Structure 1
Amino acid sequence: MMQRVMSLFSLRNVTFVTGAILFFALMEYFFSGAGGQRYLAVRLLPLAVIVQILYLYQGRYLYPRLPVAVNHAAVVLYIGICLWAMYYLTVNFEDIAIWRQAAYNTQDFITGLLILLVVMELSRIIHPVLFYVNVVLVFYALYGNYSPIDFFWHPAVSLERLVTSSSVEFSTGIYGRYTQLSLTLIAAFLLLAAAASGFGAQRALVEVMRRIAGRSRHTIPQTAVLASVSVGMVSGSGSANTAVTGSFTIPLMKRYGVPGTFAGAVETAASMGGLIMPPLMAVAGFLMAEFLGVPYWDVVVRGFGVAFVYFVSLILAVYLLSVRLLPNTPVQVEQVPLYNWLRTAIFFSGIIFLILLMSVFGYGAMRAALYTSGVILVTLLFAWLYFKYVLKDEALKEETLWGNLRLAIETHAEMAAYLTVLMATLGIMVGLFTVTGFITRMGSLLIQLGEFHIIATILMAWVFGWLVGTGLPPTATYIIVAVIIVPPLRQLGIDPWVAHFFAFLLAIWGELSPPTSLTAAVAAKIANASFMKTMWEALKICLPITVMSFAIFVRSDMVVNPGWGQITDVLLVAAGTAGITYAVFGQFFEHKGANGGIRAVIAALSFIVIFHPDDMVAAAAAVVVVPMLLVGVKRHGRLAAVSEEESERIRERLEAEDRAANEGRA
């Protein structure tokens, strides 16, 4: 009996109970709004930090090189600090937020410093690049008056001002707008992923997409595209998307003869598209709505156009490469159980319901997400009960209602805690950028470049975004670019929607940009392929992201004016990016010189379609490009086709190169 009681206090159960408290506290706020967003952040950020610590501790010790006792003591200490901060700041919230502004007492300072240090330490474990950037910014804030370079010089910030601005001021730092957003609107949308995960809808999605992809080896890689766009709708992470869908799609592609490098690159590119796809849009969509002060639906309706352009080109690129690598032989498709079809239909019906609530019925994003997640959860629950107890489905024999509901709560708590810690870390970074005046100086530099030429400013902004994106996740990259780059672009007369979507596409591209890409690393690991080769192949496939980053400055209706103007520009950009994709991967003629010439012509016409400022000229070029594409795709299917033997030789050669690269890396 005692053993059973003690088993209830396992680390997993303690983590679940803590996560459930966070889940139900958020649900209570969603339906009542009690206290407001700032008070919610003060109450729940420490709890989210505790949940994140416990989830990390389930998988491994926080400090593997230190003794077990030290690890246990550290976890107890961190949790104790979080509980104290939650109690002290909640009890004294009104005094700190109103009466003691700019005159904080010693206890306020110590409490703020302690919770700030815990968040910083947790970011060191989860987001080391962000941590080291923040450490550099801390030293820069404290000792910027010693800088020998005028551009970086600023009056030093006192330690007290640095700590309070990052903690107990509540409007910036770890309790600021980013943390508040993660615990409100973003957490509400994460309920969609939690409901889908709890009753296995995500697994069902992948199986159904595999069935829809067709019976030819040429269409096998399209499984990754369809699965990633489906899961990406409710996933805010490219690497998480790759881990979920790639664990199935990459082995499937390799089983049918797809080389590991190509399989990993396709999954990487597809996961990048999942980050663009509404309604979640890598979490950056919520931040964009916050920055612009618009309803979230205004961002979503523009996001669909961007996603359409990307996936048109992605599907074409994957097909062209598949023809070069795989024979067009039929494959046997496994039958998908009716229950998986039903779960998939429920999931997509829920997404359609969400869109209708926000667009037709005018519901706010949070209410729409709450109602939709409730509908999905209840519908999946009834479907599960029917298939388990009425139809006696053998596949559900081991599942329990409590187990599924627990998985849904755990999924939401883990995702919400992770994003809250990420947003708190970003709040520290943006706060340090602000107090040092770096944002103002960088903006002045870009405006001076704009006086020379607006294109110089755009190129400088792109380079800056690329450098930021090499080590940071998309959400972090978007926030930094939006805070530092967007204001000067707007001062130079660029439409706010264009500036923010430029930042958004830069952030997505930054997830893939060399020399680092976590998504490509995960895909390469699953595929047992060379990371660098996987990343470079994915970069070529993801070329539309790069093109679109600049196309929106010319075809601005694509993101500025929803309606017929948007549809026209979306179709033009889609035609242009598809043409460029064909120019990179397609084969129009058997003769090498003639083939190179026609591809160059298609590329030149495609650039006219995308970048020519005269809509009539762009449309005329599109009228030429689209028929050439249709004919070219058909000719490519005939001229670039490979036999079974040729495909096997290509696969063996590429896998030998991957083995050599992996051995060299080892």
Structure 2
Amino acid sequence: MKKSGTVEATINTEPDVGTMADVDEIMKKFDRESNVRPWSGGPKKVISAALAAFALFMVYMNLFAVWDERIRRPLFVGMVILFVFILFPARKGSKVRQKENRIPVYDMILAIAGAGSFFYFVVNNRAIINHATRINQTEVILGVIGILILAECCRRVTGWPILIVASCFVLYAFGTGASLRKIIYNLFYTTTGVIGTPIGVCSTYIVLFVVFGAFLETTGISDFFIQCANCLAGAATGGPAKVSVISSALCGMVSGSSVGNTVTTGSVTIPMMKKTGYPGEFAGAVEAASSTGGQIMPPIMGAAAFLMAEMVGVPYADIVVRAILPAALYFTGIFLMVHFRAKRLGLQGIPREELPKTRDILPKCYLLIPLIVLVVMIVQGFTMSRSAIIATGLCILVSMFDKEHRMTPARFVSALETGARNSLSIAVACGIAGIIAGVVTMTGLGQIFISAIVGVAHGQLIIALFLTMICCILLGMGVPTTANYVIMATTCAPILTTGMSLNPICANMFVFYFGIVADITPPVALAAYAGSAIAKADPMKTAFNATRLAIAAFVVPYVFSFNPAMLFIDTTAVQVVLIVVTSFLGMVALASAMEGYLLTELNKPFRAAALAAGLCMLYPGNVTDLIGIVLLVALVVMQKSMKNKVSTRTSASPSTHS
């Protein structure tokens, strides 16, 4: 996601804060998506127009075309491959010098061969379907070429982690004795492989929501969210960090990118946090953890809410309601930790005269209209594709009320280009996810995998959850949010639903949470690295700080897996009230334990007691709630007594000396 010149100016006003050049350098080092070919002049305009045309074609294909899925999906993948080779070079890194306006001959050959393999399937679709498993030698060769070149696209755009996993799955398929012909037929020519459910979801829903996000961004909604957050929390203790938490939750909800949101809002909030007195690695971590959490924030959840409703087979409104409490606990945890850190460091907020006024913000609430209409349409039963397209049209309409962000032909093309560009990495990851899912279906590996996990777990849900968590974090490394969820839902969720009989919503939420936290979990913590570049802090220290701030994301999924009442499943209104109250009190205790501060500083025994109190109250249950409340009340009483004693000594000191 590109940033405007005003953002760069904001960064450059602070000498101890990174410039956009620093961000670009570190992201080119760690983030595949940030490493693109340099284009300028006429060629750049041609590519921009081509990307915009691709976005419009996807709108047409979803709104008007009635083609068979075995035509739509390979056509989509072929076009994605062409654009990947146009935009992404073979080598990454800030020190790799790319020649401007030039594509190497070998990349042209790979692009034509890879896209041509999928286009061949489109053109000869009926004949190939009639062949069934008796595909000829030419079709086998084209299938091999298509899969290998898609894998190269994945290496360039998302990196090695998911590619290595997919390669292991394919090797397993060969190990079962399956012939090359059978493997290629299943992985390339059927809707259980590359052009399977992940690509189907991507070409039908994800692309349109990414385009919607790009148009929403042009309305200036990010600035609106940041102003709202400043108005709400800017003057509070440690205000800039709290502004970061609120604004990132709101912006990340619709951006669909933890990294992009970290750079967008972080360019404003991180300098403010450092100026207030927060250490650089903590400031970068707050922004990274908050931006990552934006992906779990209903009602949009980076478009994952819509996908989850489709994958689980429940109404969209159900997913939104179930996601509210876990997301609220996540951000409450970060908010409280920055509050306790500010109290411990004696940090202040932003002077009120420097903050935006409510009367200036309220007139801009019309910017929320596209979001509200989108959610209402889906709840009312409109298709997600149609809802996204109509909401995109509303973005154009509301932009007309603001001269600064008014939609012009140039901005229209730019938004389409951005949406198409941001879709490429998601599409490639979904294609590779299709290979994994295809091998699982073809070999029966899913049942073997489930049996293996259940066997290792010996029927213990906690062990199965832990092993699934590790799988999710590994598979989620460097993968965009929406593709991340599709991968987790097709590979990891069945372990819990089939193997451990976990509620499908609980299982999907669990794998979604742990796929997302891969963005802040070392060693591939892309959002944290982006935050560290702006904060001019150590990337690994920033990543570890972000992981600690996101403690709720590592605790809450286990809690709702053991007790679905946290997701308002099989519970009553009274139980819901009790769960909400005790859960938030639990986050107070947990945050104080992590930061070592409640009313005053906590020593190690008190921190251990606070940790125990927090975990007890986070787990829904009368006995655990009672234990947690007693521990927390005891801590507060002792802390208050200690604080009073310190105040008495401080006030008595002058008279003693006199």
TM-score (structure 2 length as normaliser): 0.81
From 410, 414, 417, the equivalent of 2:421 is 414
Q: Distance in 2 between matches of 1:49 and 1:182?
A: 14
What is the rounded CA distance, in whole Å, between the counterparts of 1:640 and 1:470 in structure 2? Answer: 48
- What is the one-letter code of the residue matched to 1:440? Q
For residues 63-102 of structure 1, what are the structure 2 equivalents within 5 Å? 71-81=103-113, 84-85=116-117, 87-96=119-128, 98-102=129-133
Give how far 1:177 is off: 1.0
Aligned mate of 1:248, from 263, 268, 281: 268
Write the mapping of 1:445-460 to structure 2, written as runs, cut at 5 A: 445-460=452-467
Q: Does 1:549 align with 2:553?
A: no
Whether the 8 Å CA contact 1:324–1:640 is kept in 2: the answer is no
Equivalent residues of 1:555, 1:610 under 8 A apart = no
Cα distance in 2 for partners of 1:343, 1:83 equals: 48
Question: Is the CA contact 2:198–2:486 (under 8 Å) kept in the aligned structure 1?
Answer: no
Amino acid at match of 2:583: V
Tell me the equivalent position of 1:583. Answer: 593
DSSP-derived class of the 2:378 partner: helix
- Flag the 1:66–1:267 CA change in 2: closer, same or farther, 3 A: closer
Distance in 1 (alpha carbons) for counterparts of 2:281 and 2:391 = 38
Q: Equivalents in 2 of 1:591, 1:178: separation in Å?
A: 49
The residue correspondences of 1:27-46 to structure 2 (distance < 5 A) are: 27-46=59-78
Alpha-carbon distance change, 70 to 347 in structure 1, aligned in 2, over 3 angstroms: closer
1:383 to 2:401 alignment: yes
Q: Secondary structure at the match of 1:601?
A: helix
Matches within 5 A, 1:133-212: 133-142=165-174, 144=175, 155-169=176-190, 171-212=191-232
Matched, 1:127 2:158: yes
What is the distance in 2 between the residues matched to 1:333 and 1:634?
33
Residue 636 to residue 579, structure 1, CA distance change in 2 (3 Å): farther
Structure 2 counterpart of 1:430, from 409, 434, 437: 437
- Alignment partner, residue 151 of structure 1: none
1:19 matches 2:51: yes
In the TM superposition, residue 296 of structure 1 has moved relative to its aligned partner by 3.3
- How far 1:63 moved relative to its partner? 12
**Structure 1 unaligned regions, length at least 5:** 1-6, 145-154, 388-394, 642-666
Q: Which amino acid aligns with 1:383?
A: F
The residue number in structure 2 matching 1:558 is: 566
Show CA shifts across 1:259-283 (max 9, x none): 2111111011101211211344345
Q: Distance in 2 between the 1:95 and 1:265 partners?
A: 55
- Structure 2: distance between partners of 1:531 and 1:496: 36
- C-alpha separation between the residues in 2 aligned to 1:179 and 1:599? 47
| Contact kept in structure 2, 1:471 and 1:516, CA below 8 Å | yes
Q: Which residue of 1 aligns with 2:26?
A: none
| Contiguous gaps of at least 5 residues in structure 2 | 1-38, 648-658
C-alpha distance in 2 between matches for 1:347 and 1:78: 43
Of 265-274 and 600-609, deviating more is 600-609
Q: 1:629 to 1:470 in 2, by over 3 A?
A: farther
Q: CA deviation at 1:181?
A: 0.4
1:533 match: secondary structure: helix
Q: Please state whether the residue corresponding to 1:233 is helix, strand or coil.
A: helix
User: What is the aligned partner in structure 2 of residue 118 from structure 1?
Assistant: 149
Query: Which residue of 2 is the match for residue 654 of structure 1?
Result: none
User: How far apart, in 2, do the equivalents of 1:103 and 1:487 lie?
Assistant: 31
Instruction: Determine which of 377, 380, 385 is the counterpart of 1:366.
Output: 385
Counterpart code for 2:154: S
How far apart, CA to CA, are the structure 2 residues paired with 1:405 and 1:478?
29
Alpha-carbon distance in 2 for matches of 1:518, 1:223? 22
CA–CA distance in 2 between the matches of 1:90 and 1:640? 77
Tell me what 2:530 maps to: 522
* 2:528–2:542 CA contact under 8 A, matched in 1: yes
Provide, for residues 378-403 of structure 1, a one-character-per-residue CA deviation record: whole Å limited to 9, x for no partner.
Answer: 122x213xx3xxxxxxx57xx87122
Summarize the Cα distance change of 1:233–1:161 in structure 2 as closer, same or farther, 3 Å threshold. Answer: same
Residue identity opposite 1:107 in structure 2: T
Alignment of 1:653-664 (within 5 A): none
Q: CA deviation at 1:487?
A: 2.8
In the alignment, is residue 56 of structure 1 matched against residue 88 of structure 2?
yes
Conserved in 1, the CA contact under 8 Å of 2:51 and 2:417?
A: yes
Change (3 A) 1:128 1:333: farther
Secondary structure in 2 aligned to 1:547?
helix
Does the 8 A contact of 1:217 with 1:256 survive in 2?
Answer: no
Give distance in 1, aligned partners of 2:71 and 2:577.
Answer: 42
- RMSD over aligned CA atoms reads 3.7
Q: Deviations for 1:492-521, whole angstroms, at most 9, x for unmatched residues?
A: 332222222221222123332233311111
Cα 1:38/1:245, change in 2 over 3 Å: farther
In terms of mean alpha carbon deviation, does 485-494 or 265-274 score higher?
A: 485-494
Q: Does the Cα contact within 8 Å between 2:237 and 2:348 map onto a contact in 1?
A: yes
Which of the numbers 316, 326, 349 marks the counterpart of 2:336? 316
- CA gap 1:301/1:636 in 2 versus in 1, 3 angstroms: farther
Write the deviation string for residues 141-197 of structure 1: whole angstroms up to 9, x where unpaired: 33x2xxxxxxxxxx233222333322222x133211101101112223223312222
Shift of 1:546: 0.9
Name the CA distance, whole Å, in 1 between partners of 2:296 and 2:353.
30
The whole-number CA distance in structure 1 between the counterparts of 2:152 and 2:421 is 18
CA contact (8 A) 2:224 2:364 kept: yes
Residue 546 of structure 2 corresponds to 538
Contact 2:288 2:528 in 1 (8 A): yes
Distance (whole Å) between structure 2 residues aligned to residue 338 and residue 582 of structure 1: 32
Query: What CA deviation, in whole Å up to 9, does each residue of 1:72-98 have, x standing for no partner?
Result: 3134324423553454322222332x3
> Does the CA-based 8 Å contact 2:489-2:511 persist in structure 1?
yes
Mean alpha-carbon deviation: is it higher for 19-28 or for 483-492?
Answer: 483-492
Residues of 2 paired with 1:317 and 1:291: CA distance? 35
Q: Choose which of 611, 616, 620 in structure 1 pairs with 2:622.
A: 616
CA distance in 2, matches of 1:463, 1:202: 33
Match of 2:511 in 1: 503
User: How is 1:309-348 mapped onto 2 (pairs within 5 angstroms)?
Assistant: 309-328=329-348, 330-331=350-351, 334=354, 341=361, 345-348=365-368
Q: Percent identity?
A: 25
- Is residue 10 from structure 1 mapped to residue 30 from structure 2 by the alignment? no
Question: What is the distance in 1 between the residues matched to 2:50 and 2:99?
Answer: 26
1:296 aligns with 2:325: no
Separation (CA, whole Å) in 2 of partners of 1:329 and 1:291: 44
- The answer on whether the counterparts of 2:276 and 2:348 sit within 8 Å (CA) in structure 1 is no
* Distance of aligned partners of 1:207 and 1:376 in 2 relative to their CA distance in 1, 3 Å threshold: same
| Distance in structure 2 (CA, Å) of the matches to 1:272 and 1:174 | 28
Alignment of 1:572 with 2:585, yes or no, is no
Aligned residues: 605
Note if contact 2:606-2:635 (Cα within 8 Å) is conserved in structure 1.
no
Residue 106, structure 1, aligned to residue 116, structure 2: no
Instruction: Write the letter of the residue equivalent to 1:465.
Output: C
Q: Quote the residue 1:268 is aligned against.
A: 288
Tell me the alpha carbon deviations over residues 558-582 of structure 1, each in whole angstroms, 9 at most, x when there is no partner.
3353883556534433332332112
